[in-house]
Chain A
């Protein structure tokens, strides 16, 4: 579970590390968001829209389910 209690977890931190230690700022620039928003998504404090989720997955060349998972 995320800190806010949302049942969505993500692998963004790991995927950033695996993609040349991409910074939050670099990811933010690629998906057209602020670094603070990427940090909030990564920390599970903010659930992105479906479009933003797809953008993030596209940056990592992965499917949506490889980045975000529903955890009961």
Chain B
């Protein structure tokens, strides 16, 4: 597995884990969606995400030293471009969908959580698209 594919897996798993904890805690009512607890949990999840990604990326670079140092080749650039294009359209659709909770009278904090969820989902789509393209060959 190439370093770039490992990076895509790292993004997928770390984002799923960290924001899974965040949104899971809100949905199950462990933290109030409108309290400071949520803000603290979000900060903790973002710090955890960064720490996990840095650690795992270093491990991936150590296990594939040549790939880790080399710039993206043309196929990897194509995969990056295609996956980000898909992610962009997903993000646009999800952002347009924000009018639904807005119309239902959700608070500003709820709306911020929905907007953040849109970014998280678009990031996951980019990572999944990259993994699929790396697995398929192009």
Residues of B within 8 Å of A, CB-based: how many?
A: 14
B residues contacting A by CB (< 8 A) are 2, 4-5, 66-67, 70, 73-76, 134, 136-138
Q: Is A45 an interface residue (CB 8 A)?
A: yes
CB neighbours (8 Å) of A49 from chain B are: 74
Number of A-B contacts (CB under 8 A): 39
Instruction: Write the nearest CB–CB distance from B23 to chain A, whole angstroms.
Output: 34
Q: Are B138 and A46 in contact (CB under 8 A)?
A: yes
Q: Is the interface of A mostly helix, strand, loop or mixed?
A: loop
**Out of A4, A37, A48, which one reaches B76, CB within 8 Å?**
A37
Cα distance A48–B74 in the bound complex, in angstroms: 8
* A40 at interface, CB cutoff 8 A: yes
- When chains A and B are docked, how far (Å) is the Cα of A45 from the Cα of B75? 11
A34 at the interface (CB under 8 A from B): yes
Q: Give bound CA distance, A10 to B4, whole Å.
A: 26
Chain A interface residues toward B at CB < 8 A: 4, 29, 32-37, 39-40, 43, 45-46, 48-49, 52
Beta-carbon contact of B76 and A34 below 8 Å: yes
- Known contacts A33-B73, A34-B67, A52-B74; A40/B2 CB under 8 A: no
Whole-angstrom CA separation of A38 from B85 in the bound complex: 24
Contacts of B73 in A (CB 8 A): 32-34, 37
CB distance from A14 to the nearest CB of B (A): 20
Closest to B74 in A: A49
